[in-house]
Amino acid sequence: MAPPNSCLLVAAASSVRTVLLGFLLLFQVSFTSGTSDIVLARNITWKSTDFKTLLEWEPKPVNYVYSVEISTRWGNWKKKCFQINRTECDLTDEMKNVRETYTARILSEKPVKSDGDPEESLHANTPDFTPYLDTNLGQPRIQDFKQNGTKLKVTVQDSITSFRENGTFQTLRQVFNQDLAYILYYWRASSTGKKSVKTDTNEFLVDVDKGESYCFNIQAVIPSRKTKQKSPESTIRCTSEDKAVSKELFFIVGAVIFVVIILVIVILSVTLYKCSKSRGKRDRKENSPLNVA
């Protein structure tokens, strides 16, 4: 049989343990109650084409908001989107140097209280993003093309990007310089066999068969990249379009001339008819006998 003092000590220890557990539970509840409705951002994705750069994530906030901060690798954090209920933030203008590596963090937080102090917040970090390496290339455009005998000349129009320097939007060529190349895919309109040629400039001049119509499209490429090297291919153009346009223009001009001639004939006929009718009335009036009172 245990001594009475020993029983008292066990009971006291059990009571103290119960009280401590109660305080710990109360502290935990009070600590987490401020953030229990806040959800951490997930599925974070950089969406960027020709240096137009958006940050997207999930989920839609309920009873809380998001703020986004961005920084260079060794820089200070700058808040861009503050207390928003969207799941998207445009960070294009914050990327002043396309060769710099940027990172961002998405804060999930309660809206700012009336005294201006934000409540507890959680944040999720984004992957690093280097615009020069990671932005997607947009679909290129064909500026001009012409087939002259056995030569096909194609000129590429550089895309205007969302990157600005001294307040001016830069073209793809101005940003990438000699890192930018174009690939021309071309084939006879009556065939499916493709040929391709690459250039570091914006012009192609390739040999083709005389008297044949050709179709072609282009693709921008950054060979120095490890990923995201190529753009989508441009729309397909064909040299026979020139002939089709010429024929269509010929028929349109011919139709217009025909309508004008018909209108002129109608107007002249009506005018001559009115003149003839008016002259007939005058002649009848002059030849009619005078009425004698």
Contact of 247 with 255, CB cutoff 8 Å: no
Helix (H) / strand (E) containing 16: helix 4-32
Q: Measuring CA to CA, which residue among 143, 136, 169, 160 is closest to residue 234?
A: 143
Place of tokens 């989508």: 232
Phi, psi of 261 (to 5 degrees): -60, -45
User: Tell me, what's the pLDDT at 276?
Assistant: 77
List, by residue range, all CATH 2.60.40.10 domains of the chain: 42-134, 141-240
Say how far apart CA 208 and CA 193 lie, in whole Å: 13
User: Tell me, what's the pLDDT at 190?
Assistant: 87
User: Tell me, what's the pLDDT at 287?
Assistant: 61
**Planar angle of CA 214, 219, 221, nearest 5 degrees:** 145
Contact of 24 with 56, CB cutoff 8 Å: no
- Digit-by-digit pLDDT tens for the chain (293 residues) are 445 455 444 444 555 455 444 444 444 433 444 445 899 999 999 999 999 999 999 999 999 999 999 999 888 999 999 999 999 999 999 999 999 999 999 999 998 765 555 556 789 999 999 999 999 999 999 999 999 999 999 999 999 999 999 999 999 999 999 999 999 999 999 888 899 999 999 999 999 999 899 999 999 999 999 999 999 999 999 998 644 444 444 556 567 777 778 887 888 887 877 777 777 666 666 565 545 44
Phi, psi of 291 (to 5 degrees): -80, 125
User: Pseudo-torsion of CA 109, 61, 103, 72, nearest 10°?
Assistant: -50
User: Tell me, what's the pLDDT at 15?
Assistant: 55
- Does the domain at 42-134 match CATH 2.60.40.10? Answer given as yes
Say how far apart CA 184 and CA 206 lie, in whole Å: 10
Q: Measuring CA to CA, which residue among 50, 53, 49, 48 is closest to residue 171?
A: 50
Fold of 141-240: Immunoglobulin-like (2.60.40)
Contact of 162 with 50, CB cutoff 8 Å: yes
**Which letter does DSSP use for residue 115 in this model?**
T
Contact of 44 with 127, CB cutoff 8 Å: yes
